[in-house]
Structure 1
Amino acid sequence: MDYVRITHIDDPLFRKMHQLMQEVFPAEEVLEFSLWKEPLEDPGIRVFVAVHEGNVVGATEYRYYPQLRVAMTDFTIIGREGLGIGRFLSQKRQADLEALATQAGQEMLGMFAEIYDPYRVEHHVFGGVKPMDPFVRREVLSHLGYKRLDFPYVHPSWKNDGEAVSELDLCFMPANDELKQLDASLVVTFLTHYYAILENKPTAWLKMIEQLRDKETIDLLPI
């Protein structure tokens, strides 16, 4: 299995990856094909696919913010069972992020991820791929060390239609597992930067950000 970076929308592997995303994720979580041109060419956004026998069987997108010392896992897709794709992607991504942090002359604080709450999305089959089932994914991510940030989370739909998506938790995997809280200012800075590309912010998201500005810290809870 190969770990291949995609940097251009015309890469044939990207079309395969986008099709896989449409099969697995709800429509509001998938950016329209043509809108991927700039993100793929952005050196700070890292999109990799797992290629097995010429087919895209998994994918992950992530980014590292050296000014914040944090990473964000945008998504991880496991498209087929029985190939160890999840561990393959996790190990390759972690090695890449550690190299980026070293290049920046720092240690990484940790990594954010939005994680589905299976009790709110139990109806979604995620393309019928069992490893993508929200119950399985949540438990796997808990094993990896992710913890839930203790506040009601919503995010803007990637359709950029001003709708709020509320079926996920914002989680964080600290490099130091003993970390129990994050500075609220770090979370606000991260979220406002991460969603800057979307012009149509829902009112619920704006209200959430204002409430976070009034906090000093946010607890990290088990998931």
Structure 2
Amino acid sequence: MDYIRIQSIDNPLFAKMHDLMKTVFPPEEVLAFEKWRAPLEDETIHVYVAVHEGEVVGTTEYRYYPDLRVAMTDFTIVGRPGLGIGRFLLRSRERDLRRLAMESGTVSLGMFAEIYDPTQASYEFGGIYPMNPYVRREVLSHIGYMRLDFPYVHPSWEEDGSAVGGLNLSFLPADENRTELDASLVTAFLTQYYSALPNKPEEWFAMMERLKTQDKLRLLPL
């Protein structure tokens, strides 16, 4: 299996990756094909595919913020069972993130992720059972992710200004004994991360204002 970076929508592997995303995620979580051109050309955004026998069988996107000393996993897709794709993507991403932190002269505090909460909403994931939200959540818990203790919404990637709920903003701490994060770190991260979406819902702004009144946020089990 090969771990290949995608940096152009003109790469034939990108079309296969985008089809996989549309199969797995709901529409509000998938950026339109043409709107991927600029993100893929951004050196700070890392989009990789797992290629097995010429086919895209998995993909992950992530970034590292040296100024905040945190990473973000935008998404991870396991497209087939029984090939060890999840572990392959996890280990490949870990190695690359260690490299990015080292090159920036920083030590990472950990990595954010938005994790579906199937107790809040019903999700359909294209019939690929490794992507079942209950399975995903338990796997991410095993890896070490913890949910931040506040009600979370994010702006829709359909760019229609609507709020997307049914998820937890979660964090994988580098120090497994960490029990909380500075709320200011979370607000700084979310402000920077969602700067790409100019049309944000009122629910998101209200959430951010509430976060600004807090000092610490607890890390709780998924």
Q: TM-score, normalised by structure 1?
A: 0.98
- Quote the residue 2:36 is aligned against: 36
- What displacement does 1:121 show? 3.2
Match of 1:14 in 2: 14
Aligned equivalents of 1:20, 1:44: Cα separation in 2: 23
Does structure 2 conserve the Cα–Cα contact (< 8 Å) formed by 1:116 and 1:169?
yes
Counterpart position of 1:26: 26
Counterpart CA distance in 1 for 2:138 and 2:206 is 30
Mapped to 1, the partners of 2:184 and 2:65 lie a distance apart of 15
Separation of aligned partners in 2, 1:31 and 1:112:
20
Deviations 1:170-198 (A, max 9, x none): 00000000011100000000001100111
State the match for 2:124 in structure 1: 125
Following TM superposition, by how much is the alpha carbon of 1:16 offset from its aligned partner in structure 2, in angstroms? 0.4
The DSSP-based 3-state class of the residue aligned with 2:214 is: coil
Q: Which amino acid aligns with 2:190?
A: L
Contact 1:121/1:134, CA 8 A, preserved across alignment: no
Superposition map of 1:129-208 within 5 A = 129-208=128-207
Q: CA deviation at 1:107?
A: 1.2
- Alignment correspondent of 1:54: 54
Which structure 2 residue ranges, 5 or more long, are not aligned?
A: none
8 Å CA contact 2:26, 2:124 repeated in 1: no
Structure 2 letter corresponding to 1:186: L
Tell me, in whole angstroms, the C-alpha distance in 2 between the residues paired with 1:125 and 1:83. Answer: 22
Q: Is the 8 A contact 1:24 1:127 kept in 2?
A: yes
Residues 183 and 217 in structure 1, CA contact (< 8 A), matched pair in contact too: yes
Residues in 2 aligned to 1:105 and 1:208: alpha-carbon distance in whole angstroms: 33
CA RMSD of aligned residues (A): 0.6
* Equivalenced residues, count: 222
1:128 CA drift (Å): 0.3
Instruction: Give me the TM-score of the superposition, normalised by structure 2.
Output: 0.99
Q: Percent identity?
A: 63
Q: Tell me, what secondary structure is at the counterpart of 1:128? A: coil
Aligned-partner residue type, residue 195 of structure 1 = Y
3-state SS of paired residue (1:195): helix
Residues in 1 aligned to 2:23 and 2:135: alpha-carbon distance in whole angstroms: 18
Q: Which residue of 2 aligns with 1:105?
A: 105
Counterpart CA distance in 1 for 2:25 and 2:172 is 22
